[in-house]
Structures are given as C-alpha cells and as structure tokens.
Amino acid sequence: MNKNESKYFNTALKMDEALLTLLEKKDFDFITVKEICVAANVNRSTFYLHYENTYDLLSETISVLSERFAESFRKSDFPQKIGSVQTHELYLITDEYLFPYLAFVLQNKKAFRAICSRPDLFDAEKSYKTMFDDVFSPILSRFGVPEEEHEYRMEFYTKGVSAIVMRWVARDCIEPIEKIASIVKNCVGHAESGKPAEKLPQQSPPDSQT
C-alpha cells in the first residue's frame, strides 16, 4: 500500500469510526453527512470522494466490523482443533464460535439494525467467509461431503443464519444469545439428539411413478 492509498484508507476508517460513534447517540436515518464529516474531521468533498451516500458508508462500516470479528476469530485455536477431534465430537455449528459472533452482533446492534432497512447492503457471504473457509468447509470435508457441494451448502447456511440474526436484530435482540444460538443450531440440523444433519442417515428417494 503506497502513501496515497494509506491516506485514503485511513480517512475512510475515520468515517467508519465516526458513524459507529454517532450510532450510539441516534438512529441511522437521522444521521447526516455533515455530522459524519464533523465527527471524522473531514470535509464534505472528502466524504463524497469515498461514498455516494450514508448507506454506502454504512455498508462499508458493517464490512469493517465483520472483518474485525473475523480477525479475532482467526486468533482463536478453534480452527486448529477441527482436524484433530473425533468426528462424533464434531459439529457444524458450535457455541464455541456462535456465541462470540452473536455477542459481536449484540455489541454492534445499532449498526446491524440500520442494515435491516436495507438488507441488500449486507453481504452475508462476505461476512461469513472466514467461518466458511476456516470452519464450515473443513468440517464438511471431515463428514465426507464432496467438495463440489461445499459452496451450495454454504449458500444455504449463510442465508439461513443471516436471516435468523437479522430477525433477532429487528426485534432489538430481546432474546438472550443462548436462545438464538439454540435456534440456529436446530435449523442447521444440530438436533436434540446431538447429531448434526451430516451425521443423520440419508433417506432413500421415493419410488418414481410409472
């Protein structure tokens, strides 16, 4: 990254931080470009050099938050455990990384709540990419799921988990994290028996009608 790129990035980061600070004081719909510029100590022309509007900034801010979570996740030892634990102890969705993620959403619920009005700005696939690369895909491989199916399953899981999380945010996160984690696990096949969907026997297709 050269000097100009670094300056551009740092200015954008200042505006991300300014938006997060303002979200602690008021709802997103009432935050103006002027307030963001004052909080970030930049002028309006600088703002519009980076973004088309406040929603554009909001989308970037969510990405920055997600990257921060991903970075903290990379520092944990959970991804390294996947290759060593027994398959009967392995689950696709586990509290070990689900709880920290939900706590992260709760901590930043005002930013996520702002996204609820513009769900098209939330790139679920990008937000969950780290967990897919470091957790979901390796676990699917351990379960014997063909690699060519991973992308399709990831699409299913990310859209489903994202929908649950955003519904929770829309309800102002009134349910405890433990409740939402339980819902997510049940929806992806972590049944009460303790067996994930990938471990359940596959049903034979019904006989075709002739």
Burial letters for 43-76: b for 16+ Cβ neighbours within 10 Å, e otherwise? eeebbeeebeebbebbbbbbbbbbeebbeebeee
* 96 phi and psi angles, rounded to 5 deg: -60, -30
Residue 179 has pLDDT above 50, yes or no: yes
Domain range for 26 is 1-51
Residues 71 and 157 in one domain: yes
In a domain, 209, yes or no: no
Burial (CB < 10 A; 0-12, 13-18, 19+), residue 140, is buried
Give residue 84's pLDDT: 65
Residues 44 and 77 in one domain: no
Give residue 201's pLDDT: 38
Number of domains comprising the chain: 2
pTM metric for this prediction? 0.69
Q: For 92-145, what is each residue's pLDDT tens digit?
A: 667 777 888 899 889 888 888 887 776 666 666 666 666 677 777 887 888 888
Give residue 49's pLDDT: 94
Residues 107 and 169 in one domain: yes
Q: State the pLDDT confidence band at 34, using cuts at 50, 70 and 90.
A: very high
Which of residues 19, 34, 51 is at a domain's end?
51
Residues 72 and 157 in one domain: yes
Q: State the pLDDT confidence band at 18, using cuts at 50, 70 and 90.
A: very high
